[in-house]
Amino acid sequence: ASGAQGPALVEGVGLGMAGADSDDSLYPIAVLIDELRNEDVQLRLNSIKKLSTIALALGVERTRTELLPFLTDTIYDEDEVLLALAEQLGNFTMLVGGPEYVHCLLPPLESLATVEETVVRDKAVESLRKISHEHSPVDLEVHFEPLVKRLASGDWFTSRTSACGLFSVCYPRVSSTVKAEIRQHFRTLCSDDTPMVRRAAASKLGEFAKVLELEYVKSDIISLFTALASDEQDSVRLLAVEAGVSIATLLPQEDLETLVMPTLRQAAEDKSWRVRYMVADKFSDLQKAVGPEITKNDLVPAFQNLLKDCEAEVRAAAANKVKEFCENLPEDSRETIIMTHILPCVKELVSDTNQHVKSALASVIMGLSTILGKDNTVEHLLPLFLAQLKDECPEVRLNIISNLDCVNEVIGIRQLSQSLLPAIVELAEDAKWRVRLAIIEYMPLLAGQLGVEFFDEKLNSLCMAWLVDHVYAIREAATCNLMKLVEKFGAEWAQNTIVPKVLGMANDPNYLHRMTTLFCINALSEVCGQEITTKHMLPVVFKMSNDQVANVRFNVAKSLQKIGPVLDSNCLQTEVKPVLEKLASDQDMDVKYFAQEAISVLSLA
């Protein structure tokens, strides 16, 4: 075990052994090995995660002959243990003696690749793919490829699904005879009896196509793609869509029309909404894969149809892609296509019956303004933005507001402000607190775009009203919002507009509001700086140290601890220290505790 000595051995086992005997170093390893079968799954997991330590101690020979056979049959264990094992084995090549012996890792990974739990299988396949690169070309044909064949012709679909992910890694490195066999195996799996295997094959079709010679892509892959894309199960067909995108990138432009497009067109009009959804979801990739000409002739009408689909899920997925699709249109005809083909559909979506569709559109529609420029934005898009700002669904309004910056760059925000304000006010007072929370989060952004004057005039009162909201999360967010506003508008602005109002709340009869004053001070002291903190905030904090509610008093202690670093040392010693000392002898246990904590953190003891 001499080769096993190293810091990794004792680390983590937690046994500080005073070793006189050299074999003492075996003890932690012995513990790890025994714990491979501990009843406590956490301990088993811990041992599996240190498998490399065990292997190092056993040496390459015993790892191959004893440890791996044991692990091969350990597939009874919990998923998380198996997952960890599958991952470990991907990094085990050196521990079994290097690339020469890497094939010893195949049996345990093979058994892991057949378990029912998808995450474990996927991890086993990932590790197999990893170690496939460490096989010599000969070993790949002697050991690895037979494993793939075994999995591919296994009785259970779990093993056949795993096989699907392994073809692409061995294909490029085997002889042409074996290549032909691999293609045949893949073909068989594409027409497997079970939909699970066909799904696995469909999802790996694109990846497999990438490693095939172009002639076989055209002959084999296209027919498989066509078959999978017209599978009876829509769960298979929808996976073929993505494969189609990958295949399209591999083919020369002149072949696309005959080999791929008929199938993709059919997918865009599939009877199942899930397949059409997939087409909508992959639309940008598809657009890039087929190039500008096909985009103009085929994808534009297809996209229009998806935007008008009868299923809301499909319309929402397509609406999400509106901006990206328009951006990627060929430049020479971009504006014409958008204005004549896309915009009419977009206009309809603005008043869609489904709120998810509208909110998906609202999250991207503002991006069109940069593409269309100032005049078109004012004439065509602005009415849509305004309509969406008045939408009944708060999420739609929020999505518009959260993307205001796109429009700001093109036409400035003033054009919108008349409609913006009522929308913001309404959201600010929405009955659902999550909606209020969302609009608060956009406040700093809005403030930046609208400018300080507009803000003071119209929005400041809203920000103050949130401080006394009856939901804590809103009050908390409002506090944070003030800090961000001060960062934007500066300390002087803070002193004139918000600090007096915040400090005024210190006299509120509701103790929750008095605490809000303290939370605001915590947030604001640093951005407002030493002068404002010392001169305006600190006296209020001191005064509150006499509050009759203990929660307020201990928050005073916490606040002092928080703002301490902003204050100068003289102030700390002469003013803060006496207050904290008084609080440290408070009747209330929590007040005492936090006062003492503040004293020690600020080193005032």
Partner 1 sequence: VNAPRGGVGGGNDFQWCFSQVKGAIDEDVAEADIISTVEFNCSGELLATGDKGGRVVIFQREQESKNRLLSRGEYNVYSTFQSHEPEFDYLKSLEIEEKINKIRWLPQQNAAHFLLSANDKTIKLWKISERDKRAEGYNLKDEDGRLRDQFRITTLRVPVLMPMDLMVEASPRRIFANAHTYHINSISVNSDYETYLSADDLRINLWHLEITDRSFNIVDIKPANMEELTEVITAAECHPHQCNVFVYSSSKGTIRLCDTRAAALCDRHSKFFEEPEDPSSRSFFSEIISSISDVKFSHSGRYMMTRDYLSVKVWDLNMENRPVETYQVHEYLRSKLCSLYENDCIFDKFECCWNGSDSAIMTGSYNNFFRMFDRNTRRDITLEASRENSKPRAMLKPRKVCTGGKRKKDEISVDSLDFNKKILHTAWHPKENVIAVAATNNLYIFQDKIN
Least separation, in Å, of the C-beta of 309 and partner 1?
Answer: 10
Q: How is residue 436 written in tokens?
A: 């209020």
Least separation, in Å, of the C-beta of 113 and partner 1?
Answer: 11
Q: Select 22 or 569, whichever has its Cβ closest to partner 1.
A: 22
Q: Select 181 or 311, whichever has its Cβ closest to partner 1.
A: 311
257 near 238, Cβ under 8 Å? Answer: no
CA dihedral 379, 385, 387, 393 (to 10 degrees): 170
Q: Select 159 or 481, whichever has its Cβ closest to partner 1.
A: 159
Least separation, in Å, of the C-beta of 129 and partner 1?
Answer: 21
How far apart CA 281 and CA 241 sit, in angstroms, is 10
How is 294-362 classified by DSSP, letter by letter? HIIIIIHHHHHHHHT-SSHHHHHHHHHTHHHHHHTS-GGGHHHHIIIIIHHHHHHHHT-S-HHHHHHHH
Is residue 233 at the binding interface for partner 1, with CB under 8 A as the rule?
A: yes
CA dihedral 236, 242, 244, 247 (to 10 degrees): -130
Is residue 120 at the binding interface for partner 1, with CB under 8 A as the rule?
A: no
User: Which of 90, 99, 107, 195 touches partner 1 by CB under 8 A?
Assistant: 195
Least separation, in Å, of the C-beta of 27 and partner 1?
Answer: 5
Least separation, in Å, of the C-beta of 193 and partner 1?
Answer: 10
User: Which of 157, 208, 225, 454 touches partner 1 by CB under 8 A?
Assistant: 157
**Amino acid letter at 197?**
V
How far apart CA 180 and CA 389 sit, in angstroms, is 60
Q: How far is CA 371 from CA 203, 269, 289, 366, 377, in A?
A: 35, 29, 22, 10, 9
User: Which of 43, 60, 178, 196 touches partner 1 by CB under 8 A?
Assistant: 196
Residue (of 236, 292, 311, 245) closest to 319 by Cα position:
311
Least separation, in Å, of the C-beta of 80 and partner 1?
Answer: 13
Instruction: Considering only the stretches 267-275, 287-295, 453-461, 503-511, report the one whose residues sit in contact with partner 1 under the rule CB under 8 A.
Output: 267-275
Instruction: Considering only the stretches 99-107, 310-318, 450-458, 588-596, report the one whose residues sit in contact with partner 1 under the rule CB under 8 A.
Output: 310-318
Given CA atoms 536, 542, 547, 551 in this order, what sign does their dihedral have? positive
How far apart CA 237 and CA 198 sit, in angstroms, is 10
Is residue 232 at the binding interface for partner 1, with CB under 8 A as the rule?
A: yes
CB-based contacts of 108, cutoff 8 Å, min separation 6: 68, 71, 72, 74, 85, 89
Is residue 311 at the binding interface for partner 1, with CB under 8 A as the rule?
A: yes
How far apart CA 41 and CA 47 sit, in angstroms, is 10
- State the residue for tokens 């190039």: 291
User: Which of 225, 273, 519, 554 touches partner 1 by CB under 8 A?
Assistant: 273
CB-based contacts of 383, cutoff 8 Å, min separation 6: none
Q: Select 60 or 512, whichever has its Cβ closest to partner 1.
A: 60
Q: Select 230 or 370, whichever has its Cβ closest to partner 1.
A: 230
User: Which of 66, 293, 332, 531 touches partner 1 by CB under 8 A?
Assistant: 66
Q: Select 13 or 326, whichever has its Cβ closest to partner 1.
A: 13
Least separation, in Å, of the C-beta of 59 and partner 1?
Answer: 10
Measured from the Cβ of residue 163, the count of other Cβ atoms closer than 10 Å reads: 26
561 near 597, Cβ under 8 Å? Answer: yes
Measured from the Cβ of residue 217, the count of other Cβ atoms closer than 10 Å reads: 20
For 5: left if phi > 0, alpha if psi spans -120 to 50, otherwise beta; the answer is beta
How far apart CA 605 and CA 600 sit, in angstroms, is 6
Q: Select 114 or 388, whichever has its Cβ closest to partner 1.
A: 114
In the region spanning residues 67 to 86, those forming contacts with partner 1, defined by CB under 8 A, are 67, 69-70, 73, 76
Q: Select 235 or 551, whichever has its Cβ closest to partner 1.
A: 235
Is residue 386 at the binding interface for partner 1, with CB under 8 A as the rule?
A: no
Least separation, in Å, of the C-beta of 69 and partner 1?
Answer: 8
Instruction: Considering only the stretches 28-36, 94-102, 381-389, 473-481, report the one whose residues sit in contact with partner 1 under the rule CB under 8 A.
Output: 28-36
User: Which of 88, 93, 127, 158 touches partner 1 by CB under 8 A?
Assistant: 158
User: Which of 30, 214, 471, 473 touches partner 1 by CB under 8 A?
Assistant: 30
Is residue 97 at the binding interface for partner 1, with CB under 8 A as the rule?
A: no
How far apart CA 228 and CA 244 sit, in angstroms, is 10
Instruction: Considering only the stretches 163-171, 264-272, 340-348, 413-421, report the one whose residues sit in contact with partner 1 under the rule CB under 8 A.
Output: 264-272
Is residue 156 at the binding interface for partner 1, with CB under 8 A as the rule?
A: yes
Is residue 266 at the binding interface for partner 1, with CB under 8 A as the rule?
A: no
User: Which of 1, 178, 421, 550 touches partner 1 by CB under 8 A?
Assistant: 1
207 near 245, Cβ under 8 Å? Answer: no
Instruction: Considering only the stretches 32-40, 165-173, 435-443, 454-462, report the one whose residues sit in contact with partner 1 under the rule CB under 8 A.
Output: 32-40
Residue (of 506, 403, 493) closest to 453 by Cα position:
493
Q: Which helix (H) or strand (E) holds 493?
A: helix 491-493
Q: How is residue 126 written in tokens?
A: 């990932």
Q: Select 115 or 240, whichever has its Cβ closest to partner 1.
A: 115
Is residue 58 at the binding interface for partner 1, with CB under 8 A as the rule?
A: yes
Number of residues that bind partner 1 (CB under 8 A): 48
Least separation, in Å, of the C-beta of 128 and partner 1?
Answer: 17
Q: Select 237 or 484, whichever has its Cβ closest to partner 1.
A: 237
User: Which of 10, 51, 115, 260 touches partner 1 by CB under 8 A?
Assistant: 115
Q: How is residue 129 written in tokens?
A: 């793919």
Residues that bind partner 1 (CB under 8 A): 1, 21, 23-24, 26-27, 29-31, 33-34, 36-37, 57-58, 62, 66-67, 69-70, 73, 76, 114-118, 156-159, 194-196, 199, 232-235, 270-274, 310-313
